[in-house]
């Protein structure tokens, strides 16, 4: 993806907001829409044209990269299994495209866990913590220092669905079924877990939710990372906005050093980076990637 086009698109968007604010909120000032000159209208039209051009450029980049993406990630995750966890606000189109690219990268299907709105609701916080405690697999543990509902759920899910160092399941079939059954009975799963498992790494895909839901998603990813071979939290720029999952994660230095994050998974370049970031996680490396100001690098 062209960095110049990304910057151009962002700058054009800011300019549109500035001009619209002037045009709508200050109609009677000199040079405004009630004024005698047409400079404001012309400027607005120009900025709109620039924004349209920048967006068209990004779409063109996606078309080019999409045809080459499979070859760029071929065998990157060969013989490694990935569990995909989706938050209720995750874009289904982003999820489907990312899962397709994971298969192209040779990743084995570690399952897809679709969380419901109830799972990320603050009203369910105590119930989720109780579920985590009551479904912990034999020999597994939960953090006593960090007791956030999302973190504990990530920990128990990682130990119930993740693989051990030798590639075998960390949990027994009965413990795995106990956890999934409790999640389903509690209304926290959309459908049932698909796929074969167990998972070597975890990909958590978030949307634009902020507040408690954004914090829950960030904590969930950190909990998964603490109990599996590695975790990537992905979303679009909305997830990197203040209060969003990526913003919360990147605001915690300890989590940022452990969990990888990608804020442009709605673009082909971002999805390629997600695949590479998962491979890096399995090698013990983490990073923050994308186009938001909080990203450390545009891609891996």
Question: If you average pLDDT over residues 213-217, what whole number do you get?
Answer: 98
5 or 87, which is more confident? 87
pLDDT of residue 55: 57
- What is the pLDDT of the chain when averaged over all its residues? 87
Longest dimension (CA), the chain: 77
pTM tops 0.85: no
- The tens digit of pLDDT for each residue in 160-190 reads 999 988 888 999 999 999 999 999 999 999 9
Per-residue pLDDT tens for 131-148? Answer: 999 999 999 999 999 999
Predicted confidence band of residue 23 (pLDDT cuts 50, 70, 90): very low
pLDDT, residue 18, reads 42
Which DSSP letter does residue 117 get?
A: T
**Which of these, 238, 138, 143, lies nearest to 178 by C-alpha position?**
138
Structure tokens at 229: 């071979």
Specify the pLDDT at position 115.
98
């Amino acid at each position: 993806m062209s960095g110049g086009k990304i910057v151009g698109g962002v700058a054009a968007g800011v300019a549109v907001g500035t001009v619209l604010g002037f045009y709508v909120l200050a109609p009677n000032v000199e040079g405004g829409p009630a004024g005698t000159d047409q400079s404001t209208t012309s400027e607005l039209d120009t900025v709109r044209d620039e924004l349209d051009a920048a967006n068209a450029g990004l779409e063109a980049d996606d078309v080019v990269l999409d045809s080459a993406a499979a070859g760029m990630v071929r065998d990157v995750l060969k013989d490694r299994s990935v569990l995909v966890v989706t938050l209720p606000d995750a874009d289904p189109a982003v999820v489907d495209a990312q899962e397709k690219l994971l298969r192209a990268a040779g990743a084995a299907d570690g399952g897809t866990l679709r969380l419901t709105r109830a799972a990320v609701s603050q009203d369910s916080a105590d119930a989720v913590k109780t579920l985590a405690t009551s479904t912990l697999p034999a020999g597994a543990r939960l953090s006593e220092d960090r007791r956030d509902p999302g973190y504990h759920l990530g920990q128990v899910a990682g130990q119930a669905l993740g693989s051990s160092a030798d590639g075998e399941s960390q949990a027994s079939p009965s413990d795995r079924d106990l956890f999934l059954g409790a999640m389903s009975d509690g209304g926290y799963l959309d459908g049932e877990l698909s796929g074969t498992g167990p998972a070597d790494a975890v990909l958590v895909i978030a949307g634009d939710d902020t507040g408690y839901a954004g914090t829950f998603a960030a904590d969930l990813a950190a909990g998964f990372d603490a109990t599996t071979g590695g975790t990537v939290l992905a979303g679009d720029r909305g997830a990197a906005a203040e209060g969003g999952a990526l913003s919360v994660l990147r605001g915690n230095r300890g989590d940022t050093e452990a969990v990888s994050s990608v804020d442009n998974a709605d673009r082909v370049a971002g999805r390629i980076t997600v695949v590479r970031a998962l491979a890096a996680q399995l090698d013990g490396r983490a990073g923050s990637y994308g186009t938001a100001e909080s990203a450390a690098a545009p891609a891996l």
